Chain A
Amino acid sequence: MRILCCLDGTNVEQLHNAVTKFAKEQGTLFGLLYVIDAGPKAEMERARERLLRRPGSPLLPHAEKVQQVELASAQEILNEGLRYFPGAEPLQREGKPEREIVNCAAEWQADLVVVCPRAEYGGKPEIGPKSVGHVARFVLDHAPCPVLLVRPIAREQFPISRKP
């Protein structure tokens, strides 16, 4: 079985806890995917364009540093993942995270994609509408294989209203 775990820098422990509960089968291969989001760079280019700077000329200030930090951060997140999933295959991509995840799942021939609803930066986990972010929603809609959505434990928020 090939299981692709989608890291976002905040969720490795959550994914590990969820997956190891049932992935005890011999020969299970884990893939750890981290996607460098190309969105922020596109936003910065758009801001430049509005201030009458054409793409590429003059160069985006600190472009090299931006790339270095993105790569270093991706590497750090993947290394952290490897501490939880020793022997897993690290996979790094750049682009729109949702599209890279489903494409990578197909290329890597994943049997299962494991993803969290959204990155959690602290605070209590949210349940209810919009608790699944656009990346996870896209993966649920477009993945080439079954998807395991690892929701945070939020039993203290239950029972929810039984009225429609």
Chain B
Amino acid sequence: MITLFTLVGIMVRPFRLDEAKIALAGAILLLIVGLISPLDAVRVLLSDWNIFFFFLGMMTLSALVDAAGFFEWLATQAARLAGNSPRRLLLNTFLLGSLISMILSNDATALILTPIVYVLITKLRLPVLPFLFACTFIADTASFLLPVSNPINIIVTSQFPLDLLTFLRLLFVPCLVVIAVNIAVFFLLYRRQLQGRFDSKRLSSPQETIPHKPYFRYTCSILALVAIAYIIATALQIPLSLVTLSGASLLFAGALFWKRSTMRDVSKHISWSIFGFIAGMFIVVQAFENTGLTDQFGKLLLHLSGGSSFGSVIVGTAGAAIGTNLINNVPMAVVLTSALHSISHAPLTVQHGFIAATIFGCDLGPNLTTVGSLATVLWLLILRQRGVDVSGLDYFKVGIVVTPIMLVVGALTIWLMLSL
């Protein structure tokens, strides 16, 4: 009951309460009534250290890379390479977003690249929305290229490690296909706004975007090292948070040396409430797991899949995508990961199907609505009926067209890759 109330609380967010407070309140309540022992709670949190450190490293790394002007430099280069064509600029925005999501996670694309692209597009006097939505969409669409491309991937692969080749086969390849679909649908939807030419004289020179050249060069070198280290760590099954944190520490040392950032600056860019949210969710879901209900949920998913690889991908994708839109994708990934423990006796292709589909559905599902959950969308629709103007629906209109196509195409590609 407490778990369900917590999940519903996260979904509805009464009085616009912070999700972290709701998750922590659920965890504290479970501890008070003795449904989970403090020792168990500590054990759960310690066993998930990789996820906490990954979030910390990822946010720090992004903030320090941004301080070097790296994102702005890349965006300016993308615009210069577009040769005055808005279509090519949109394509470059997608490619740039994919690259940033791949190495620095979806957070960096959605939170840091988006305002930079907005500034660029405003300067160029081009229609803003196609480019803004391109950034928001590609942040999630490209977030299963590598395990580090989305914290969700770390949550799932911490429990169910996939070797590098399996990850690339089951997720990287389908991700490329889904990115292509995303780009194609956007070109179709926004074909009218992308006509004409833009004046590239309005752009700043790439040199102007670099506030400090030595720190910029240092950042580029560290990022290249981090990218290589990610691949090696995934291949050797080394916890990825160690790479992220090492990269962030090296960059921070450089930032301090060249006086480009301080501890205070970095801490301002870290969302500390995320840690409370994840900690609360892990404890709540562990208590739920102790009741055996997640086990039952896992068995139900297996039953619905009919024990086939096709069924596992379809059921896994649908479950993850729907769940992600009912609650946030982080709790959904935690719940599904817990449920997947009960399918360990199923054939390997079915297990892999469920794991890949969980990552895929939880990563891509949020593209349906930028406002977090379907509950919020329904609320926005009610407000609209009452004559209140709500711009969040602009995104939903695009999401409802693009996301189902991407989910179907991606799921079919995963299934095809499973049989290879």
Q: Which residues of A contact B (CB under 8 A)?
A: 9-10, 37, 39-40, 42-44, 46-54, 57-63, 65-66, 69-70, 73, 77, 96, 99, 119, 121-123, 126
Contact = CB atoms under 8 A, between A and B. Distances in A.
Nearest to A124: B195
A121 B194 contact: yes
Interface in B105-158: 106-107, 110-112, 114-116, 118-119, 122-123, 125-129, 132-133, 136, 139
A39 B118 CA distance: 12
Nearest to A61: B112
B392 interface: yes
Contacts of A119: 127
B66 A61 contact: yes
A52 B19 contact: yes
A60 B370 contact: no
Interface stretch (B174-182, B234-242, B266-274): B266-274
A62 B395 contact: no
B328 interface: yes
7 contacts: A47-B136, A60-B115, A61-B115, A65-B119, A69-B123, A121-B86, A121-B126
B-side binding surface: helix, strand, loop or mixed? helix
Contact of B196 (A47, A53, A58, A123): A123
Given A58-B268, A126-B192, A50 B107 contact: no
A49 B17 CA distance: 12
Interface string B1-43: 0000000000000000011100000000000000000000000
Pick from A54, A58, A123 the residue with the most CB of B within 10 Å.
Answer: A58
Contacts of B133: 43
Nearest to A53: B271
A63 B112 CA distance: 10
B344 interface: no
Interface string B279-295: 00000000000000000
B210 to A, nearest CB: 15
A49 B125 CA distance: 27
A35 B332 CA distance: 41
Nearest to B198: A121
Contacts of B419: none
Contact of A66 (B18, B86, B115, B391): B115
Given A10-B125, A73-B125, A39 B119 contact: no
Interface string B301-323: 00000000000000000000000
A121 B196 contact: yes
B371 interface: yes
Nearest to B329: A50
B262 interface: no
Given A60-B115, A66-B115, A126-B192, A40 B110 contact: no
B330 interface: yes
B205 interface: no
Given A49-B371, A58-B271, A43 B115 contact: no
A58 B107 contact: no
B354 interface: no
B169 to A, nearest CB: 28
A49 B10 CA distance: 13
Given A53-B111, A53-B271, A96-B389, A47 B370 contact: yes
A70 B123 CA distance: 8
Interface string B225-238: 00000000000000
A36 B53 CA distance: 40
B376 to A, nearest CB: 9
A96 B114 CA distance: 20
A102 B123 CA distance: 26
Contacts of B112: 61-62
B161 interface: no
Contacts of A59: 268
B213 interface: no
A48 B111 CA distance: 6
Contact of B18 (A40, A54, A121): A54
B166 interface: no
Given A40-B118, A61-B115, A51 B391 contact: no
Contacts of A54: 18, 271, 273
A53 B274 CA distance: 8
Interface string B86-104: 1000000000000000000
A81 B127 CA distance: 19
A121 B136 contact: no
Contacts of A37: 128
Contacts of A42: 391-392
Contacts of B221: none
Given A50-B370, A58-B271, A59-B268, A44 B122 contact: no
Given A43-B395, A60-B115, A122-B197, A51 B107 contact: yes
A70 B122 contact: yes
Contacts of A58: 268-271
B216 interface: no
